[in-house]
Amino acid sequence: MLVAVLAGQLSGAPVAAALEPPAIDGPVPAATGLDAGPLRLDGPCRTTAAFLDPGVSPPSATAAELGGAWIHGRGEGQVVAVIDTGVNPGPRLPRVRGAGDVVPGRDGTEDCDAHGTLVAGVLAATEDETGHSGVAPGVEIVSIRQSSSVLRPEARDRSRGPDGPTVGAGVGTLSSLARAIRAAVDAGADVINISEVACVPAGTVLADATLGGAIRYAAVDHDVVLVAAAGNVGDACGDQNPGAADPSVPGDDGWGDVVTVASPAWYDEHVLTVAGVDADGAPADFSLRGPWVDVAAPAVGLRSVGADGAGVSDVVVAGDGSRTPVTGTSFAAPFVAGTAALVRQAHPGLTARQVIARIENTAIPAAGGHDFAVGHGVVDPVAAVTGVRRIGRPAPATTAIAAPPAEPGPPGAGVGAAVAAGSLALGTIALVVVLLRPRDDRDTRA
């Protein structure tokens, strides 16, 4: 199994003294592209299918539900980057532009895994005859293929690659993720969606300084909203984290109790991390918890476009014929990224930090208040755009929530992780990369 291989690779890794939020003071990656060298296709591309139950109303967005969030537009003029497995343009994804690819000579507008296309569909699919729609169908999608679980490097000795030793199947590394973020910013992204997660046991040191530098380049230097999936327990993310801070410990922030670290989700001050909820709004069992979880969105039994960017689907079909529902925090993240695009369109004067604060402060909170399962609560696109916080749907509250000023948080010390899978319940869409170096080299080596 994937996790077993990763654990074996990490057994001799250095151990950090204490877990703290990671720093963003690393070097900004060079604009060198994502070319991973010669690759081969390991089996047929994944497809999608529709097994829609007409008697079940899915938690996916509909035009009727989103009408209140579209009072200023449907995201027109906003550019949202999808860093994933690529995006296949199609009738319901007509505005897709490529900006990078691990495959030599390609531009990111191909997707053999179906994952990136499904993510883009949740975010930006145009309305179909049934009323199904992406959250922000007017945005332009910038697609960057930085990972794949069906592509394999041709070289047998992968330990000599430019991004360090790798384990597991597929392509994609923390270093290539950092370069993809740089490419997305340089392509003009206002919002970046990252439905990929690197997970390791807490205390493991990961050389992700370049990723921190890329996050600073996007969020701080260029005012881009970064949205990331929280990750799924049972894919490449191991044990579940506690759901809340220990009430018996005064001032406990929860970081000391973390057992599984997820990156880039744990870059708490600069990344809007999205957990998953089920159709009833309860935290999804598979959604990785943590003190870095900011908000939550639907993640179970969703609908999106088909793998060809057309129609509708709710199932992914692998090369062996196995079927997996469109479920996972991978698909919660684009719901929130689409919301961020709508907020940026409606309120162009807000900074990225203020957009994030507005989304958090207008979310529908859990009954017990802020926790590590859903953060501030379930994102409400209508409330985020209008500024009117709703206690529950459909009855609105009467208190307007203004976006608070962006207050810079204190930088944390860097600590370790490894790259793992696309954060979805499609467990076969996984990439695992182990990049371990001593902490002393954190600021000098990518």
pLDDT tens, position by position, for the chain (446 residues)? 222 222 222 334 455 556 888 999 999 999 888 888 888 898 899 999 998 876 676 666 678 889 999 999 999 999 999 999 999 999 999 999 999 999 988 999 999 999 999 999 999 999 999 889 999 999 999 999 999 989 988 764 444 445 544 434 578 888 899 999 999 999 999 999 999 988 889 988 777 889 999 999 999 999 999 999 999 998 678 899 999 988 888 888 999 999 999 999 999 999 999 999 998 899 999 999 999 999 999 999 999 999 999 999 999 999 889 999 999 999 999 999 999 999 999 999 999 999 999 999 999 999 889 999 999 999 999 999 999 887 655 333 333 333 333 333 333 322 223 233 333 344 323 334 333 333 332 222 22
The pLDDT score that the predictor gives to residue 193 is 99
Q: Evaluate whether residue 309 is within a structural domain.
A: yes
Q: Evaluate whether residue 446 is within a structural domain.
A: no
Which CATH number belongs to the domain containing residue 182 in this structure? 3.40.50.200
Q: Evaluate whether residue 354 is within a structural domain.
A: yes
- Nearest-angstrom CA–CA distance, 359 and 390: 12
The pLDDT score that the predictor gives to residue 441 is 29
Catalytic residue among 313, 330, 376, 423: 330
- Nearest-angstrom CA–CA distance, 114 and 117: 5
The pLDDT score that the predictor gives to residue 419 is 36
The reply to whether 115 belongs to the active site is yes
Q: Evaluate whether residue 282 is within a structural domain.
A: yes
Q: Is 16 helix (H, G, I), strand (E, B) or coil?
A: coil
- Structural domain count, the chain: 1
Q: Is 122 helix (H, G, I), strand (E, B) or coil?
A: helix
The pLDDT score that the predictor gives to residue 395 is 35
Q: Evaluate whether residue 316 is within a structural domain.
A: yes
Amino acid symbol at 146: Q
Catalytic residue among 60, 84, 235, 423: 84
Q: Evaluate whether residue 251 is within a structural domain.
A: yes
Q: Evaluate whether residue 41 is within a structural domain.
A: yes
- Closest among 369, 404, 417 to 178, alpha carbons compared: 417
Task: Give the Å distances, CA to CA, from 15 to 201, 228, 254.
Answer: 10, 26, 19
Supply the range of the domain harboring residue 421.
Answer: 2-441
Angle, CA 119 vertex, CA 326 and CA 198 arms, to 5°: 90
Catalytic residue among 101, 111, 113, 115: 115
The pLDDT score that the predictor gives to residue 204 is 85
Long-range contact list for 14-18, CB < 8 A, 24+ apart?
14/204, 14/205, 14/416, 14/436, 14/438, 14/439, 15/203, 15/204, 15/205, 16/203, 16/204, 16/205, 16/415, 16/416, 16/439, 18/256
The pLDDT score that the predictor gives to residue 60 is 65
The reply to whether 263 belongs to the active site is no
CB atoms near residue 170 (< 10 Å): 25
Instruction: Return the half-sphere exposure (C-beta side, CA atoms, 13 A cut-off) of residue 108.
Output: 26
